[in-house]
Amino acid sequence: MASFSFIIGIIGNVISLLVFSSPIGTFRRVVKKKSTENYKGLPYITTLLSTSLWCFYGLLKPGGLLVVTVNGAGAFLQFIYVTLFLIYAPKDKKVKAMKLVAIFNVGFLGLVIAVAFLAIHGNVRLTFVGIICAGLTIGMYASPLSAMVPNAIGFVLGSAQLIIYGFYKSSSEKSSEAREEEGSAHLVKGAIEMRDFDEAEEAQIKNRRLNKGRSLPKPSVSRQYSIHKIVKALSLDHP
């Protein structure tokens, strides 16, 4: 059983070393371009802290050789990554990364070691360090979420903006269509009223003409008779 556990431990160490060495290609590009571009230093800083504490845990634990070897190699690689990041990062990122290194890799690591040796004794010391190591391992694997969470929040907010925009756009289109229909109805109504007005005005003009014709004075009978006599006399004078 002990040999089987040892073999499983070796396999786990090999896999862990592959995980720790995976950023080598990334930092090869960083050195080639002399820029960290959009890479963040937090994952490497937290991994350096985690591997350092696991080394400490392996030193405290009897038979913790495999824990010490794999995490020692991981701590060495993470130290190189953090150093390269501090060298090639922009000034603002460099200052922020240096503060994180001072807080986690120096201050917190030194505090845990000091508390473990000065305030805790016996098996409780190993349990205390093991719990902290487990928590930091979870934090190490969760640290890339610092780049993913803002994008997820941005996706949700952007989707909400698109939904609101689509809702109000459809409402505005409906209201504009209603306004166009209302305007068309007003135009038709105005045309009808104008036509009725023109017809009424034309009728009034005809009525005025008829009334004017009726109001003209008619020639009297005597005047008509006199004119008839004059025409007859003129006709007799001529052979």
Do 167 and 120 fall into the same domain?
Answer: no
Residue 138 clears pLDDT 60, i.e. is over it = yes
Percentage of the residues of the chain whose pLDDT score is greater than 90: 33
Do 111 and 167 fall into the same domain?
Answer: no
- Span 52-81, pLDDT tens digits: 999 999 999 988 888 999 999 999 999 999
Do 160 and 133 fall into the same domain?
Answer: no
Model confidence band, residue 170 (pLDDT cutoffs 50, 70, 90): low
Residue 234 clears pLDDT 90, i.e. is over it = no
Domain-ending residue, one of 118, 143, 168? 143
Domain with 138 in it: 2-143
Do 190 and 225 fall into the same domain?
Answer: yes
Of 26-40, 132-146, 160-174, the range with the highest mean pLDDT is 26-40
| Arithmetic mean of pLDDT, 211-220 | 52
Residue 102 clears pLDDT 80, i.e. is over it = yes
pLDDT at 111: 95
Percentage of the residues of the chain whose pLDDT score is greater than 70: 58
Q: What is the mean pLDDT of the chain?
A: 76
Do 214 and 125 fall into the same domain?
Answer: no
| CA dist., res. 172 & res. 150, Å (int) | 32
Q: What is the 3-state secondary structure (H, E, C) of 175-211?
A: HHHHHHHHHHHHHHHHHHHHHHHHHHHHHHHHHHHHH
| Arithmetic mean of pLDDT, 156-169 | 63
| Arithmetic mean of pLDDT, 123-150 | 77
Query: How many folded domains does the chain comprise?
Result: 2
Count CB-CB contacts under 10 A for residue 80: 15
**Of 48, 39, 43, 143, which Cα lies nearest the Cα of 88?**
39
| CA dist., res. 96 & res. 197, Å (int) | 83
